[in-house]
Amino acid sequence: GENVEQHPSTLSVQEGDSAVIKCTYSDSASNYFPWYKQELGKRPQLIIDIRSNVGEKKDQRIAVTLNKTAKHFSLHITETQPEDSAVYFCAALDTGRRALTFGSGTRLQVQP
Amino acid sequence: NAGVMQNPRHLVRRRGQEARLRCSPMKGHSHVYWYRQLPEEGLKFMVYLQKENIIDESGMPKERFSAEFPKEGPSILRIQQVVRGDSAAYFCASSPAPSSYEQYFGPGTRLTVT
């Protein structure tokens, strides 16, 4: 089955700086890669996703890149704000199971 | 994603009791997924259901756990004879169709076993 590795596990940045979170996956058949933001005690919220036929996708301050050959994808947040502080999870869709396999999460702290 | 409803939000059970967790998908969504999240960990897939069908239960423990999604009413995750290790947040997610990959999560049920 699919295995997703995520790093770093914690990331602290100054307000206004950029943050980058990286994930690798094992199943070359995976073709959908969402990113979720989870605040303490809340539900995971889908913030951006990318499909395997696209190399990059951007939505305002958030962008995701995908390298299918290397089987890794990254989340980029620019001009970080304190409200970006949360745990971010990457995931890959296991096409054989139709279930998302999640990374272990990155706790992002944006210092004002 | 605010449309996925789960109840109860918090559930406390003593060891050996049964826990029933409910999930109502977003309107128009007929696919439900259950995930479990242990403290400080990521989400782990448990089961994928469509109306009246279990499509994939490979992530669910073979004993004590069961799930259903009847023709009418919410999806239910049932845990019999709960143990302390079952304490976790249980999230359900829904999607509209197999061809639509996006999954939207409910607020979760936090189960505490005492």
* Percent of chain A whose pLDDT exceeds 70: 99
Q: Do B106 and A100 touch (CB under 8 A)?
A: no
pLDDT at residue B98, as a whole number: 64
pLDDT, average across residues B104-112: 96
pLDDT at A2 over 70: yes
pLDDT at residue B46, as a whole number: 96
pLDDT at B49 over 90: yes
pLDDT at residue B41, as a whole number: 84
Joined tokens for residue A106:
């990155």
- State whether residue A35 is helix, strand or coil: strand
pLDDT at B77 over 50: yes
Q: Which residue of B has its CA nearest to A99?
A: B45
Chain A residues within an 8 Å CB radius of B34: none
Three-class secondary structure assignment of A38-51: ECCCCCCEEEEEEE
pLDDT at residue A78, as a whole number: 97
Do B90 and B21 meet the contact criterion of CB atoms below 8 Å apart?
Answer: yes
- State whether residue B20 is helix, strand or coil: strand
Q: Do A100 and B103 touch (CB under 8 A)?
A: yes
Can you state the percent helix, strand and coil of chain B, rounding each to 5?
5, 50, 50
Do B15 and B79 meet the contact criterion of CB atoms below 8 Å apart?
Answer: no
pLDDT at residue A98, as a whole number: 78
Q: Do A46 and B103 touch (CB under 8 A)?
A: yes
Share the mean pLDDT of chain A: 94
Joined tokens for residue A69:
């050959």
pLDDT at residue A99, as a whole number: 87
Q: Do B91 and A43 touch (CB under 8 A)?
A: yes
CA dist., res. B59 & res. B44, Å (int):
8
pLDDT at B1 over 50: no
Residues paired with A77 in a beta bridge = A19, A62
- Residue window 92-111, chain B: list those with CB within 8 Å of chain A: 93, 98, 101-108
pLDDT at B29 over 50: yes
